[in-house]
Structure 1
Amino acid sequence: MNHQVVVAGAGPVGLWLAAELRRCGITVAVVERRTGRDPRSRALTVHPRTIETFASRGVHGPFVGEGMPLPGGHFGVLESRLDFRRLPSPFPYTLALPQERTEALLEQQALDSGADILRGQEVTGLTDGPDHIDVHVTGPRGDSTLRAAYLVGCDGARSTVRQAAGIDYPGTPSTVLGWLGDVVLDEPPAAGYSYFGPAGTLMAVPMPGGLHRLVGITPRDLTTTWPGDLTLDELRENVIAMAGTDFGLRDPVWLSRYGNATRLAARYRRGRVLLAGDAAHQHFPAGGVGMNVGIQDAANLAWKLAATLNGWAPDTLLDTYHAERHPVGANLTATSRAQVALMTAFTPEGLDLRHLLAGLITTLPDLNDHLAAQVSSLAVAYPPAAPDAHPLTGTRAPDLAVGHTGLFALLRADSYLLLDLTGDPARPLGTWSRPGLRVHAGTLRTPPADWSGIRAVLIRPDGHVAWAGTHGDDTALRADLARALATTHRP
């Protein structure tokens, strides 16, 4: 077998997946048709949960160092912006960081960890074997075949892997065209500038390197007819119509149009083929969430693939990837469509609706917090298998202070973390010696209210709670933990 896992696509999703697999000792090849990174940065926003994911592997520093922190985000370009500073995260902000730099940092991680990145080659098909999958690849030297245990399609909305696997991709067609221009502005507006009115919607987002991204929609963009490529003159005309000035825009680096076609893969797994990122879900880029949700797909999938291949997880573990992430994709596509409706509400009735919702975000802090947590993926919780599970089960574990360190610093890609919070070193819970499990005894400094009374907690490699125990009786606590471990680990 050439590699244990072949990943199609060297975008942010495929690269994070590859690096995570290598942290678990899994051999991986990334097949990418481009010979180099795309200098055009489709994604610009790195959300709090993505930064937390990087922090849980100790690699967040370069992203935070290079990115431009922004205190909030938008929902449907409403006039009241979401305040991310209220989020319960050590990173209560978004980072403005061009995708090209995100990819460069992630690619270096993947290479440093030992992943093979095969550029200038493209996956063209697949053939299932009894205990493997043959991945057909074409490149400058002709056709070849890579044999692997699993193939993951991270190859975008037109995914060859998804099509070759025969996975349906239902959804709704494009009815709206958005546009963007990465340009120099000689007279830039204040940070956070946005406009919405009968003339359309416009946002100006500062970018590193002295650029601004101008994004928007006009009423004439509510169409199913492709009008041709965006020109600098059209961009200037659109901006002046809404802002009354072109902000001295010049020297475009990238001009583009994009539609609101929205699709969700019927299955995220078919046998030895799995999907992540845009190969699994396509949507209008509202709020800059697409890349971030894709990286969370990879975070969920990587440790499950590794645990299965390394032999310490039950055979059913991989089935939970679709069960957990498909609902997240469904929520993503529905929320994106809702934002498109708000972003194209140019009628008097639509403007009144927008004004009403913006006022609610301002006057109801809980609504702000709910939407901010949803947009940032901090609210994602996976349903527990047991009906009597503790309410924390499936939720994201925050970066709690555990003794003299933070929780994120204790997480590893290749193992669950069992936190023994009983506070009695003479009766440790860590008598289980098995692969895929690490034990840390400590106490929580200032635990949040929903962690009150927790005596032990089992945390997955992706930072979600697998089990939480509150039994005051040590024998009952150990028995409950044993039952939990029976569902997460082989005997």
Structure 2
Amino acid sequence: MTKSLSDQAETMETVETPVLVVGSGPAGLLLAFQLARYGVRCMLVERNLDTTKWPKMDITNCRSMELFNRLGISEAFREQGVAQHYSSDVLFSTGLSEGGELVAKWSLPSPDVWKERIRQQNDGTMPREPYQRCSQAIFEAWLKKRILAEPLIDTRYGHKFESFKEGKDFVEAEITDVEKNEKYTVRSRFLVGCDGAGSRVRRNLGVELVGGPAPIAMYLVHFKSRDLSRLQKQGQFWHIFFTSGAAIIAQDEVETWTIHIPIPLDVDWKQLDPRQEVYKALGGSLAPFPIEVGEILVCSAWRPAISVAEKYSSPSLKVFLAGDSAHQNIPTGGYGMNTAVGDSFDIGWKLAAIINGWGGDQLLSSYELERKPVAIRNIERSGVHHRVHQTYVEWTMGAGPGVVTANADAGAALRERIRQHVLRNDGENQDHGIELGYRYSNSNIILKEKAQDAESDFDYRNYVPSPVPGARAPHVFLADCKTSIFDIFGPQFTLVDFSIDGTWAASFEKSASRLNIPLKCANLPRESQAKKVWGEATHS
């Protein structure tokens, strides 16, 4: 006799875990890793059998590197990425073919230069960590190995999330083992959808996206080439943006490159010859520029999108969205993955606090209040940076064929106009205020000082240090010139007391102990520079 659907559901294997994480992109991997660090078990399911082959993100910004440092993985991560001595210069060019010209350059220092600058400028305005270039394909493969070694993480690749339903005190998710074609149920206290732009978790939650794709398409070719003399004929680079609208990214400064080429929306990208498209892209506004191409790694077409989820959680606060399932950015500025890192850290410590028994009633509802405004601001800023590139491409196309590369006055004038434009609008990788200076001004768990306008001094370009509630604590090196104030922070909450006897912090320590809240007190009576920086920041 054939079993009814209800009988089949009852006989499915049920696995229990405190937290189910769906999706093993950067958001899911980091969330699972963070939960393990807090002693919380979780299951991580990913429909694909392995990590991504696509070179999505390629810059981990200063704030994300600070968060990686808290997890103890920043130095090991740097070993996976581009070597520390390479700059991240961005070039603007009419093309590499004969007659092509370097129009402008954004000079972005190497991590080594950044580290020295951070040491010299110990005034609270600098990050603890420089940024790091590393392809998402390398990052995910590296972090997966660490995840698999974590006994508190039940990692299941090739397992597809189908749907979920909520009970009074649990969430039940239906999962399919793709290889065996078998379904089973995962019962968890919480579920977090880190499953990307097409998130099944978000769709099951019934949450809509506000926004959508831009009316343009790009053809991506990820390839190997050691033809450095031709590729770098206008200088070493991280990116080259061509006046034609194409761009090339140096992924490892050795042999791995990614090219993005604008194509009409109705073009079947599978019919394109990737090598020929590489040559056309490198030619910019001129004839194709052939190079020696070794292996074509992957090709695809994609559309830039700007969108944010209407809600970040279910009404019951049992199901949450993080990363691309909650927001999508145009890649300019590198805010997409870095916003996801912040999401994972925010929801991660809060879930751990609830599961470990010391989180308050309002804690989980603060997640959306804190992270959604950050995503919206980052999304808008990525659009601003994207418009910088659209503008000079439109000028080039509007001037007519051959004008931007011509020796005549019109060509020289157009190139100078482009040069001035990109030098004047160079915030794409230099807007450190947006990376470090966001504040959780709308949070329901943060006490605000009277008449405090937490965002009044926000500057997209420059980070304004402030230790007011909801802001990132300013970084400063202590008197030994080696130890960062961040290095003395505990794994959860830290109370810094600059008084002589430390009695002020001690009173809080007793209350935290009574409430089982993990608090570390750091008494720094002789740290005059740190006290000065934090004091001035408080009143800035």
Q: Which residue of 2 aligns with 1:382?
A: 440
Shift of 1:343: 1.9
1:425 is displaced (CA, Å) by 4.3
What does 1:358-373 align with in structure 2 at a 5 Å threshold?
Answer: 358-360=422-424, 371-373=431-433
For residues 19-30 of structure 1, the aligned pairs below 5 Å read 19-30=33-44
**1:330 positional shift:** 0.9
Query: Does structure 1 conserve the Cα–Cα contact (< 8 Å) formed by 2:173 and 2:187?
Result: yes
SS across alignment from 1:238: helix
How far is 1:322 from its partner?
0.5
**Residue identity matched to 1:126:** F
Q: Which runs of no fewer than 5 residues in structure 2 stay unpaired?
A: 1-14, 94-102, 119-125, 399-413, 455-465
Determine the structure 1 residue equivalent to 2:485: 407
Alignment of 1:208-287 (within 5 A): 210-218=254-262, 221=263, 223-229=264-270, 230=272, 231-242=274-285, 245-270=289-314, 271=316, 272-287=318-333
Task: Determine which of 510, 518, 525 is the counterpart of 1:431.
Answer: 510
- Verify the 8 A CA contact 1:47 1:95 in the aligned structure 2: yes
Output the CA distance in 1 between the equivalents of 2:143 and 2:164. 27
> 2:91, 2:106 within 8 Å by CA — same for their partners in 1?
yes
Tell me by how many angstroms 1:55 deviates: 0.9
1:418 aligns with 2:495: yes
The superposition leaves residues 284-329 of structure 1 with CA deviations (integer Å, 9 ceiling, x where unpaired) of 2223332222111101110011112222121111111111111111
Distance 1:427 1:319 in 2: 30
TM-score by length of 1: 0.81
| 261-270 or 190-199: bigger deviation | 190-199
Q: 8 Å contact 2:194–2:324 — kept in the other structure?
A: yes
Q: TM-score, normalized by length of structure 2?
A: 0.74
1:242 offset after TM fit, Å?
4.1
Secondary structure of the equivalent of 2:436?
coil
The alignment status of 1:392 with 2:467, answered yes or no, reads: yes
Give the whole-Å Cα distance in 2 for the aligned partners of 1:193 and 1:17.
29
Offset at 1:44? Answer: 2.2
Question: SS at the partner of 2:295?
Answer: strand
- Number of the residue aligned with 1:440: 522
Select which of 326, 338, 352 maps to 2:372.
326
RMSD: 3.1
| Partner of residue 49, structure 1 | 63
Q: Is the CA contact (8 Å cut-off) linking 1:12 and 1:103 kept in structure 2?
A: yes
Provide the residue aligned with 1:10 in structure 2.
Answer: 24
- Aligned with 1:3: secondary structure? strand
The amino acid of 2:278's aligned partner reads L
Post-superposition offset of 1:118: 1.0
Larger radius of gyration: 2
Shift of 1:214: 3.5
The Cα shift of 1:71 comes to 4.1
**Aligned 8 A contact 1:171 1:263 in 2:** yes
Q: How far apart, in 2, do the equivalents of 1:116 and 1:206 lie?
A: 31
Give the letter for the 1:49 counterpart: R
Corresponding residue number in structure 1 for 2:534: 451
Aligned equivalents of 2:504, 2:302: Cα separation in 1: 59
* Secondary structure, aligned partner of 1:308: helix
Deviation at 1:177, TM superposition (A): 1.7
Q: Structure 1 or 2: larger strand share?
A: 1
Contact 1:22 1:110 in 2 (8 A): no
1:217/1:341 CA distance change after superposition, 3 Å: farther
390, 394, 417: which is aligned to 1:347?
Answer: 394
Aligned to 1:144: 184
**AA partner of residue 148 (structure 2):** L
1:150-169 equivalence runs, <5 A = 150-169=190-209
What are the equivalent positions in structure 2 for 1:296-307 lying under 5 Å apart? 296-307=342-353
* C-alpha distance 387-277 of structure 1, shift in aligned 2 (>3 A): same
Match runs of 1:89-238 below 5 Å: 89-92=127-130, 94-113=131-150, 114-139=152-177, 140-183=180-223, 184-186=225-227, 187=229, 188-189=231-232, 190-192=235-237, 194-196=239-241, 198-207=243-252, 210-218=254-262, 221=263, 223-229=264-270, 230=272, 231-238=274-281
1:156 and 1:277 in contact (8 A); partners too: yes
CA shift digits 1:251-271 (9 cap, x unpaired): 222223211122211111113
Shift in CA distance, 74/4, structure 1 to aligned 2, threshold 3 Å: farther
- Structure 1: distance between partners of 2:17 and 2:261: 45
Please tell me whether the aligned partners of residues 277 and 293 of structure 1 are also in contact (alpha carbons under 8 angstroms): yes
CA distance in 1, matches of 2:533, 2:539: 13
| Mapped contact 1:342–1:354 kept (Cα < 8 A) | no
1:76–1:343 Cα contact (<8 Å) kept: no
Which 10-residue stretch deviates more, 182-191 or 24-33?
A: 182-191
Q: Which moved more, 1:96-105 or 1:30-39?
A: 96-105
Structure 1 stretch 181-190 or stretch 136-145: which is displaced more?
Answer: 181-190
Aligned to 1:316, the other structure's residue is in SS state coil
SS in 1 for 2:530: coil
| CA displacement, residues 88-120 of structure 1 (integer Å, 9 cap, x when unaligned) | 12433x322222321133223333332110111
CA shift for structure 1 position 158: 0.4
Residues 165, 145 of structure 1: alpha-carbon distance in 2 compared, 3 angstrom cutoff: same
Give me the whole-angstrom Cα distance separating, in 2, the residues matched to 1:198 and 1:311: 57
Indicate if the aligned counterparts of 1:76 and 1:342 stay in contact, CA closer than 8 A: no
Deviations 1:182-224 (A, max 9, x none): 321413313226555653342342416x323243344xx3x43
Report the number of matched residues: 445
3-state SS of 1:104 partner: helix
Offset of residue 368 of structure 1: 8.7
CA distance in 2, matches of 1:71, 1:63: 18
Asked if structure 2 preserves the Cα contact closer than 8 Å seen for 1:44 and 1:97, the reply is: yes
Give the secondary-structure state (helix, strand or coil) at the position aligned to 1:180. strand
Give the share of equivalent positions with the same residue, in percent.
Answer: 24
Are the counterparts in 2 of residues 73 and 82 from structure 1 also a CA contact under 8 Å? yes
Task: Tell me which residue corresponds to 2:359.
Answer: 313
Residues 15, 194 of structure 1: alpha-carbon distance in 2 compared, 3 angstrom cutoff:
closer
Distance 1:162 1:76, change over 3 A: farther
Rate the CA distance shift 1:251–1:297 in 2: closer, same or farther, 3 A.
Answer: same
Give SS of 1:122's match.
Answer: strand
CA distance in 1 between counterparts of 2:503 and 2:383 reads: 55
SS of the residue corresponding to residue 19 of structure 1 reads helix
Gaps (5+ residues) in structure 1? 455-467, 471-491
Cα offset, 1:151, TM superposition? 0.5
Give the AA of the match of 1:442: L
